Structure 1
Amino acid sequence: MNLAAPFVRRPIAAILLGLALLGAGLYAYRLLPVAALPRVEFPVVLVSAQLPGASPETMASAVATPLIREFAAIPSLQATSATNTTGTSAITLEFALHRDIDAAASDVQAALARAQRHLPTEMLTAPTYRKFNPADAPVLLVALTSQGLPLSQLDGVTRTVLSPALSALPGVGQIVLHGSQKRAVRIRLDPRAMVGRDLAPDAIEQAIRAANAQTPVGTLIDAERRAALRSPTQFEDAAGFRDLIVATRGGRPVRLGDFASVVDSVEDDQSGSWLDGEPALVLAVHREAGSSAVAVSDAVRRALPRLRADLGGNAALTIVNDHSGAIREGVADVLVTLAATSALVVLVIHLFGGGLGTTLIAGLAVPLSVAGTFAAMHGLGFSLNTITLLALTLSVGLVVDDAIVMLEGFQHHRESGLGPVDAALRGASEMAFTIVSVTVSLIAAFIPVLFMGGIVGRIFHEFAVTVCVALAISALVSLTLTPALASLLRGTPRRTRARDAHARLLAHYGRSLDWSLRHRSVIVLLFLATLGEPPRSVAPYRAGSCLRRI
């Protein structure tokens, strides 16, 4: 059965097939995301628990230990690590690579619900969790600074204006705020003043909670209207807390400001971010799964002028680090290498191909195979990264082999006197099995990489798939378009100096091979001689001579 016969007899169909591959590849190339490396999902879940004011030892024993005890029952959990600081516990859960991250997050949520009854009742908020990918570095770091506004006010603007605006951009997955300066009132008690007024910390805490609680008061209803009552009990700044009456001694009210220092501050005054020595808030922009880091960077850069105008002249937005720059340069370098490799391959084909028409037909296998691979990459959810482009660069030398084999069979029959169509049919029938077998053999060589486990296997999975797809498309092009275009060639193949030199080299190789077959014993002795190591004379060195040589 001649697989190429229908296309040789209908070359328009083969040409349309090639154009379809080229169009699909060009369309897919514009949609492919650009990244530094293939996306590798590491099933990691971060758990955060807060107990304000608790020491690291208390957080480890009262909060982290009950949580870790519940997490230990989750299947496929490989490693657990906890970091305890004042008032905060951060627990990292690393699962096996085969574990689905969504299923692992559901198990973590169930474990947090079971551990709730073992946690301290003083915890104001329940522990939270989020999925985390250590390989997903932020694309951009944007710093927010201001000359006239305090960071606590900028923090509110960041949470209500900047983060939602950046999160709404296409391709942006998450905005993480570093150096948060959320506004808060800090109360520092004076123990001596408290003893003199016979006050205990627990009583002061209860008084602050009761005075700062916001609870519904009730509703007024008449025949025509209904109004909800609201009592403004929450204090907005430190001045309100200073006047808070916490107790009565000797018929006189004792206010919080009489025995404590009450100041407007931030929730965490032990950490922060700076830009060129100036306090700043840093927003880390992460891309969502499957999006292009370059597209996210371009979208954020286009949005920054509008956001600067919304913030006013006192605030400044500065891009501190743009990870997409290195991605652009790396991908551009590999694309240049891919283009240079393709040009060299076409040049070699031209030197030994016998004519411009043969060169063009064989050279078409490279762009069509690459274009078809782009379309397959888009369908498989791959990205343009260093690994996949390296696979395409490696495939350039492989994909053109099928076309060369097909054209060699065609030229052989043309030199024998057959017409273009008959030569194409005869050559395709003889070379089809060779092309299929060689393609299957090359794909089989990458099967171990396809099924390689671990992190390295996940990184090089796209490499192996890309090479296999390029080889399969090359075989398709060589069995359809190449013989169809060859059947349209007119005239006898032109002999070039390179082909004549190649013929002389081949004749010399044939004579040397005949001589080697007639003198097998000599060839075997020469082979055995190459396996031995020649003797070396090593003269003894005295210590002084060694030192002089050094």
Structure 2
Amino acid sequence: MNLSALFIRRPVMTTLVMLSIVIFGLMGYRRLPVSDLPNVDFPTLMVSASLPGASPENMAASVATPLERQFTTIAGVTAMTSSSSLGVSQITLQFDLDRDIDAAAQDVQAAIARTTHRLPPDMPYPPSYRKVNPADMPILFLSITSPTLPLYTLNEYAETLIAQRISTVSGVAQVQVFGSQKYAVRIQIDPNALKSRGMGIDEVARAIKTANTNLPTGILYGRHRAFTVETTGQLNQAKEFNPIIISFRGGHPVRLQDVGRAVDGVEFDKAAAWYIDQRAMVLAVQRQPGTNTVEVADAVKKLLPTFRAQLPASVSLHLLYDRSESIRESVRDVKFTLVFALFLVVVVIFLFLRKVSATLIPSVAMPLSIVGTFAIMYLLDFNLDNLSLMALILAVGFVVDDAIVMLE
């Protein structure tokens, strides 16, 4: 039976089928995710470990090597690269394309747990992993500035309020804070004052560590009730460190303020970030491998009004860079090319055939076939990207050829 004859003899059915194709095609078009290229990201995990003060050679030998030996036992690992610097080691694991990243993350966590007893005991915290490709460019850059607040207060807003909330968004791998200025008390010691009193820097370090504690004191048990003993041993400001007794010399206490001073400062004062001419905290948002850039960026940008409402009036939140905008512009250009190609095809057919009916057939067949393609793309989990739109542009020529052949 001729398929074309069926639709010719039943015009009502043909009209309904065409309307159905248009409706489902438009619904699929509205739901298609937008990206620059097809999603072919390999599942990638980055493991980080730190040991303050360790040289790159020590980090590679005592931290990176035991972890690498355990990671080689994980199934599906296609590539493993590591780099060690002063006090930091980073290992990047890349898996097969068909490997589920969540299952791979569980295997990596188990490997880290098996390696813990082989790592240096003085590491401040165990190694951690993130679902991020370090070679992937951040999709968003944000900055917060304030003309009045100190930098360590601004850093608290950036890391506690903004970064932690953005990290919970689906598809976000990590949020890095550039120019981080975490609050810290810096102790400045006069070596001549220590020498004149016959003291060493280790005595100062021990005294400060002993005086600045936050540990449970104990419980006093009575006949009828028990009392929990609480002490306020945590020092939070620089002025609280100055009266600390370091040692006794000649029956008199030697305090910290006698051999130096404590000042309010930051942990690392060699890093800085600016927004125009103001010191700022810059936040870089990276997506997880396999997620859609535009969807993740839109989800993060929806939180910006909430952040602005929660921040003090003196703190300003700025959007520095949005990678999704360039993707949208690129896809928009290709969409225009597709529509313009359809228009040129219709004009050329009319100029050469000089028949309204001959022009009308491909004019209806081309948009209908393209709109119907969007529904199939949605069902097959395709993206609306540059390659798929370019393929549709090429397919326009095939549709026109078929329409002209059928017409003749």
Q: Where on the TM-score scale, by shorter chain, does this alignment land: which range?
A: 0.7 to 0.9
Query: Where in structure 2 are the equivalents of 1:179-198 lying within 5 Å?
Result: 179-191=179-191, 193-194=193-194, 196-197=196-197
1:51 equivalent to 2:51? Answer yes
1:293 equivalent to 2:297? Answer no
* Structure 1 residue 230, shift from structure 2 partner: 3.0
* Structure 1 residue 156, shift from structure 2 partner: 0.8
Give the distance between the partners of 1:80 and 1:169, measured in 2 at CA.
28
Could you tell me which residue of structure 1 aligns to residue 382 of structure 2?
382
Give the distance between the partners of 1:109 and 1:394, measured in 2 at CA.
47
Q: Cα gap change, 1:129/1:173 in structure 2, threshold over 3 Å: closer, same or farther? A: closer
Equivalent residue of 2:241, what SS? helix
Unaligned runs of 5+ in 2: none
Q: Which moved more, 1:25-34 or 1:118-127?
A: 25-34
Q: Cα gap change, 1:228/1:384 in structure 2, threshold over 3 Å: closer, same or farther? A: farther
Q: TM-score, normalised by structure 1?
A: 0.65
Which one-letter code corresponds to 2:294 in the other structure? A
> Higher relative CO (CA 8 A, sep ≥ 6), structure 1 or 2?
2
Could you tell me which residue of structure 1 aligns to residue 25 of structure 2?
25
Give the distance between the partners of 2:394 and 2:235, measured in 1 at CA.
68
Which one-letter code corresponds to 1:395 in the other structure? A
Greater percentage in strand: 2
Q: Cα gap change, 1:159/1:94 in structure 2, threshold over 3 Å: closer, same or farther? A: same
Give the distance between the partners of 2:10 and 2:287, measured in 1 at CA.
48
Q: Do the aligned residues in 1 keep the contact of 2:46 with 2:133 (CA within 8 Å)?
A: no
Give the distance between the partners of 2:145 and 2:154, measured in 1 at CA.
8
Give the distance between the partners of 1:261 and 1:67, measured in 2 at CA.
41
Give the distance between the partners of 1:187 and 1:55, measured in 2 at CA.
24
Q: Do the aligned residues in 1 keep the contact of 2:49 with 2:126 (CA within 8 Å)?
A: yes
Which one-letter code corresponds to 1:182 in the other structure? K
Query: Where in structure 2 are the equivalents of 1:356-371 lying within 5 Å?
Result: 356-371=356-371
Q: Do the aligned residues in 2 keep the contact of 1:41 with 1:133 (CA within 8 Å)?
A: no
Equivalent residue of 1:279, what SS? strand
Which one-letter code corresponds to 2:211 in the other structure? A
Query: Where in structure 2 are the equivalents of 1:224-303 lying within 5 Å?
Result: 229-286=229-286, 290-291=291-292, 293=294, 296-297=297-298, 300=301
Greater percentage in helix: 1
* Structure 1 residue 203, shift from structure 2 partner: 5.1
Q: Cα gap change, 1:207/1:55 in structure 2, threshold over 3 Å: closer, same or farther? A: farther
Q: Do the aligned residues in 1 keep the contact of 2:293 with 2:324 (CA within 8 Å)?
A: no
Q: Which moved more, 1:216-225 or 1:206-215?
A: 216-225
Give the distance between the partners of 1:171 and 1:92, measured in 2 at CA.
19
Could you tell me which residue of structure 1 aligns to residue 311 of structure 2?
311
Q: Deviations over 1:61-102 (max 9, x none)?
A: 3323333333344443423121312x3222333445554433
Which one-letter code corresponds to 2:27 in the other structure? Y
Which one-letter code corresponds to 2:113 in the other structure? A
Q: TM-score, normalised by structure 2?
A: 0.85
- Counting matched residue pairs gives 406
Q: Do the aligned residues in 2 keep the contact of 1:287 with 1:293 (CA within 8 Å)?
A: no
Query: Where in structure 2 are the equivalents of 1:391-470 lying within 5 Å?
Result: 391-408=391-408
Counting aligned pairs with the same residue, the percent is 46
Which one-letter code corresponds to 1:139 in the other structure? I
* Structure 1 residue 129, shift from structure 2 partner: 1.0
Q: Which moved more, 1:138-147 or 1:68-77?
A: 68-77
Could you tell me which residue of structure 2 aligns to residue 326 of structure 1?
326
Equivalent residue of 2:131, what SS? strand
* Structure 1 residue 141, shift from structure 2 partner: 1.2
Unaligned runs of 5+ in 1: 409-550
* Structure 1 residue 52, shift from structure 2 partner: 2.4
Give the distance between the partners of 1:394 and 1:169, measured in 2 at CA.
38
Give the distance between the partners of 1:167 and 1:256, measured in 2 at CA.
41
Equivalent residue of 1:285, what SS? strand
Q: Do the aligned residues in 2 keep the contact of 1:38 with 1:383 (CA within 8 Å)?
A: yes
* Structure 1 residue 276, shift from structure 2 partner: 2.4
Could you tell me which residue of structure 2 aligns to residue 61 of structure 1?
61
Q: Cα gap change, 1:93/1:290 in structure 2, threshold over 3 Å: closer, same or farther? A: closer
Give the distance between the partners of 1:223 and 1:400, measured in 2 at CA.
97
Equivalent residue of 1:242, what SS? coil
1:78 equivalent to 2:79? Answer yes
Q: Cα gap change, 1:272/1:376 in structure 2, threshold over 3 Å: closer, same or farther? A: farther
Q: Deviations over 1:116-160 (max 9, x none)?
A: 112211112111111213575333211111111111101111223
Q: Cα gap change, 1:343/1:231 in structure 2, threshold over 3 Å: closer, same or farther? A: same
Give the distance between the partners of 2:274 and 2:10, measured in 1 at CA.
69
Superposed CA RMSD in Å reads 3.3
1:345 equivalent to 2:342? Answer no
Could you tell me which residue of structure 2 aligns to residue 41 of structure 1?
41
Give the distance between the partners of 2:44 and 2:296, measured in 1 at CA.
26
1:211 equivalent to 2:208? Answer no
Q: Do the aligned residues in 2 keep the contact of 1:290 with 1:381 (CA within 8 Å)?
A: no
Q: Which moved more, 1:89-98 or 1:373-382?
A: 89-98
Higher Rg of the two aligned structures? 1
